[in-house]
Amino acid sequence: AVVSTQSTGIQPADKAKNLGFQFDDQMSLDLQVNAVTQKCFMNLRDLQRIGTKLTHDLKVQLVHSMIFSHLDYCNAVFGSLSEANLNKLQKIQYSAVTFIFGLKGKDRFQSLSPFLKELHFLPVRSRIKYKIALLVFKCVNNISPEYLSDMLTV
């Protein structure tokens, strides 16, 4: 439906972007997850080209800055994400871990949980829950910006 204002009509859009976050008309977050997935895998591909020349610590730093920055951006909104979309994001994290440790061949298909623990990486679902819990903690303890604290009443 067209929204009318004085003399002009405004057509609703199928998708919109606000502060780099993509929304679709169904609010399914598919657009955002697909965009994050695409950016992260492109960055991982670029990192893999130079990966043999990098130290372990440098690989970890680069993954934090080039991959996790995209995974964590607005991830509190991902609280109600579908299982399929969560799996897409988790696959990014697993690919980053295989890059950091240089896992190839059969090694890529072993359990990555010990590697996640060694790097102190929370799985994607836990990262999202942690971010939400941290925001609530800050609101309850008046550490957050006032506009957030005002939205939460205890």
Per-residue model confidence as pLDDT tens digits over 88-129: 999 999 999 999 999 987 777 788 999 999 999 999 999 999
Helix then strand count (H, E) for the chain reads: 7, 4
Express each pLDDT in 3-53 by its tens digit.
777 777 778 888 888 888 888 888 889 999 999 999 999 999 999 999 999
What is the maximum alpha-carbon separation in the chain? Answer: 65
Whether 83 shows a pLDDT value over 80: the answer reads yes
Q: How far apart are CA 97 and CA 111, in angstroms?
A: 11
Residue 49's pLDDT is 96
Q: Which of 46, 51, 29, 28 is nearest to 104 (CA)?
A: 51
- Alpha-carbon torsion (108, 113, 117, 121), positive or negative: positive
The two tokens of residue 112 are: 């990555």
Whether 75 shows a pLDDT value over 70: the answer reads yes
Q: How far apart are CA 37 and CA 100, in angstroms?
A: 18
Q: How far apart are CA 1 and CA 66, in angstroms?
A: 40
Amino acid residing at 43: N
What is the pTM assigned to this prediction? 0.85
The two tokens of residue 60 are: 């970890």
DSSP class of 143: -
Q: What is the phi/psi pair of residue 22, to 5°? A: -100, 130
Q: What is the phi/psi pair of residue 99, to 5°? A: -65, -45
